[in-house]
Amino acid sequence: MLEFKNVSFKYEEDPDFIIRNLNFNVDKGEFISIVGPSGCGKSTVFRLICKLEKAFEGDIILKDKNINDLKGYIGYMPQNDLLIPWRTILQNVYLPLEVKGENLKEAQVQAEKMLADFGLEKYKNKYPKDLSGGMRQRASFARTLLTGAEVLLLDEPFSALDAITRVSMQEWLIDKWLALDKTILFITHDVEEALFLSTKIFVTSESPIRKFKEIKVPLNYPRTRSMIDTPPILKIKEELINELKKGVKL
Amino acid sequence: MKRYRSSIIVAILFFAIWQALAMYIDAMYILPSPTAILEKIWELKDILFLVHLPATLLITIEGLLISIVLGVVLAAAMNISERIQRALYPIVIVTQTVPITALAPIFILWFGYGIWSKVLVTVLITFFPITINVYDGLRSTRKDMEELLITYGASKKDIFMKLKFPASLPYFFSALKMAVPLSVVGAAVSEWLGAQAGLGYFSKRMMTQMDGAGVFAPIVILSLAALILVEIINILENKIVKWRNEV
């Protein structure tokens, strides 16, 4: 579905590479969490996939096509909900369709349906300021889905939420992923979140990132919180934490 | 009303002191009292409101409209192209270092006593805050929002229309609130320097007649006109830019 082939990248102002000859492959329908210490370049991987940065060398392939030949192919959900304050929730949610030049009325119908699925129909004519953090993230996710992209990149979407909202948003996200047949790449620095959500975890602690250590999460869906407290998962958790510790500079 | 209570108290105090001082000095040609000015406005109401106020308002509104178009176009051009920005920005700043009121007589020499010499003075005074504010407004959009739109496949035009333009509206309204009083001043000053009608012209004519209250009467009307225009902009702003302070 998504493949990195020998991708290297460095920021212009930076002498050192942040990503060096990175190869990885994501299969259709997977839920992959990328875990790594802050500043290691996880978000840069997303920026490369979105073409917000250009790879120094190497290719990024999405469904057998080089992303350089594609436009509007990805569903990117940034850390901050980035809902536009002067647009209502409905107008925010259909923005990707509007940019694609689709008929506004049809876009509106699709967005309304999505908001109803997400339990936000009552808020469609409200402005972002009128919504709680969790609702805003749900609206932002609805907007991401309306890009129509098969691959969704979620960059620490729940990091700004309080602990309780965060837990329920994680469960909500799993439900949506199970229902929607999407491939998700999810950045987090929370090991438990990664274990609870993903089919596979990509972990890195080195800089530049040369490869991801891939760890499969041996759990079925639907999942419960207690499942991540079982001995095999706790062992993976320990392994992950040890891997992450290597890259932490105090 | 409660909101304005303190400013009303200050205004009443100010006018009371002025009235007392004027009565003490007792020389109308130096310091006319507020009541004398009001009497004068009443006495000359027909000519002030039907002849001179429309003349000044015409210059003000025309100057303001041209300034808005010029300011917005300049700001948009500077935002779209860095080369244009580098070429124009210093020139826009330099126009403000020129003492425009001192240039007004030359404009009258060039364009005659008609309306355009005065409109030009008004434009030169008012386009600056509009240009600079709208330019800042267009630059105020968050980079991450722009990037999000790029991931949707947005063109430069999409980003301008859906993000930059609406984001600049609060700045545009702030600029207008600055520009309106300036345009009234610009119109009045240019009339003062050479005109056949208008409140500035009227004030100057009263000056030559040593009529203190007559000098102040059009000034009071000018201030009221500016106040009303700013209030209209406030109402429009509250209707259009509901999200202000939330970006």
pLDDT per position as a tens digit, B154-171: 999 999 999 999 999 999
Residues of B contacting chain A (CB within 8 angstroms) = 142, 144-145, 147-154, 158, 162-163, 166, 241-243, 246-247
**Pairing relationship of beta strands A200-203 and A213-216 according to DSSP bridges:** antiparallel
**CA dihedral sign of residues B126, B128, B134, B137:** negative
Using the beta-carbon criterion (under 8 Å), do B149 and A99 form an inter-chain contact?
yes
Nearest CB neighbour to B153, from listed A52, A71, A80: A71
Using the beta-carbon criterion (under 8 Å), do B162 and A99 form an inter-chain contact?
yes
Q: What is the structure's pLDDT at B42?
A: 94
Q: Render pLDDT for B19-42 as a digit per residue (tens, 0 to 9).
A: 999 999 888 888 899 999 999 999
Q: What is the structure's pLDDT at B247?
A: 44
Could you tell me if B9 and B37 lie in one domain?
no
Spell out which residues of chain A touch residue B153, defining contact as CB-CB under 8 Å. 71-73, 99-100
Q: What is the structure's pLDDT at A78?
A: 87
Q: What is the structure's pLDDT at B244?
A: 62
Q: Render pLDDT for B80-137 as a digit per residue (tens, 0 to 9).
A: 999 999 999 999 988 888 888 788 888 888 888 888 888 998 999 899 999 999 999 9
CA angle B229, B231, B235 (to 5 degrees): 120
In order of start, what are the domains of chain A with their CATH numbers?
A: 2-74+150-247 (3.40.50.300), 86-148 (no CATH)
Could you tell me if B192 and B89 lie in one domain?
yes
Residue B245 placed within a domain: no
Chain B interface, best mutation among A46, A49, A86, A102, by max B CB count within 10 A: A86
Q: What is the structure's pLDDT at B245?
A: 54
Could you tell me if B123 and B235 lie in one domain?
yes
Using the beta-carbon criterion (under 8 Å), do A80 and B162 form an inter-chain contact?
no
Residue of A nearest to B169 (CA): A86
CA angle B146, A127, B154 (to 5 degrees): 25
Which position has the higher pLDDT, B81 or B194?
Answer: B81
How far is A87 from A125, CA to CA, in rounded Å?
Answer: 9
How far is A49 from A53, CA to CA, in rounded Å?
Answer: 8
Could you tell me if B224 and B171 lie in one domain?
yes
Nearest CB neighbour to B243, from listed A73, A74, A86: A86
Residue B246 placed within a domain: no
CA angle B237, B242, B246 (to 5 degrees): 120
Residue of A nearest to B163 (CA): A84
Q: What is the structure's pLDDT at B163?
A: 93
Its domain, for residue B133, covers 33-240
Residue B247 placed within a domain: no
Using the beta-carbon criterion (under 8 Å), do A129 and B246 form an inter-chain contact?
yes
Could you tell me if B92 and B193 lie in one domain?
yes
Residue B123 placed within a domain: yes
Residue of B nearest to A126 (CA): B243
Number of domains in chain B: 2
Mean pLDDT of all residues in B231-236? 93
Q: Render pLDDT for B207-229 as a digit per residue (tens, 0 to 9).
A: 898 888 999 999 999 999 999 99
Alpha-carbon distance values, B63 to B186, B204, B221 (Å): 9, 21, 19
Chain B interface, best mutation among A51, A97, A99, by max B CB count within 10 A: A99
Residue B137 placed within a domain: yes
Please provide the DSSP assignment of A183-213 as one string: EEEEEES-HHHHHHH-SEEEE---SSB--PE
Instruction: Flag residues of chain A having pLDDT under 70.
Output: 247-250
Chain A interface, best mutation among B140, B151, B240, by max A CB count within 10 A: B151
Could you tell me if B132 and B70 lie in one domain?
yes
Could you tell me if B185 and B97 lie in one domain?
yes
Spell out which residues of chain A touch residue B162, defining contact as CB-CB under 8 Å. 84, 95, 98-99
Could you tell me if B187 and B147 lie in one domain?
yes
Could you tell me if B26 and B39 lie in one domain?
no
Residue B82 placed within a domain: yes
Could you tell me if B25 and B50 lie in one domain?
no
Residue of B nearest to A82 (CA): B145
Alpha-carbon distance values, B93 to B81, B90, B98, B132, B179 (Å): 18, 5, 9, 9, 16
For residue B160, the 8-state DSSP code is I
Residue A115 contacts residue A142 (beta carbons within 8 Å): yes
Task: Tally helices (H) and strands (E) across chain A.
Answer: 8, 10
Query: What CATH number does residue B73 fall under?
Result: 1.10.3720.10
Which position has the higher pLDDT, B112 or B1?
Answer: B112
Could you tell me if B27 and B56 lie in one domain?
no
Residues contacting A173, CB < 8 A, separation 6+: A141, A197
Q: How far off is chain A from B155, nearest CA to CA, in Å?
A: 8
- The verdict on A196 touching B (C-beta cutoff 8 Å) is no
**Pairing relationship of beta strands A200-203 and A31-35 according to DSSP bridges:** parallel
Burial of A24 (0-12, 13-18, 19+ CB in 10 A): middle
Using the beta-carbon criterion (under 8 Å), do A99 and B152 form an inter-chain contact?
yes
Could you tell me if B216 and B177 lie in one domain?
yes
pTM of the model: 0.81
Residue B110 placed within a domain: yes
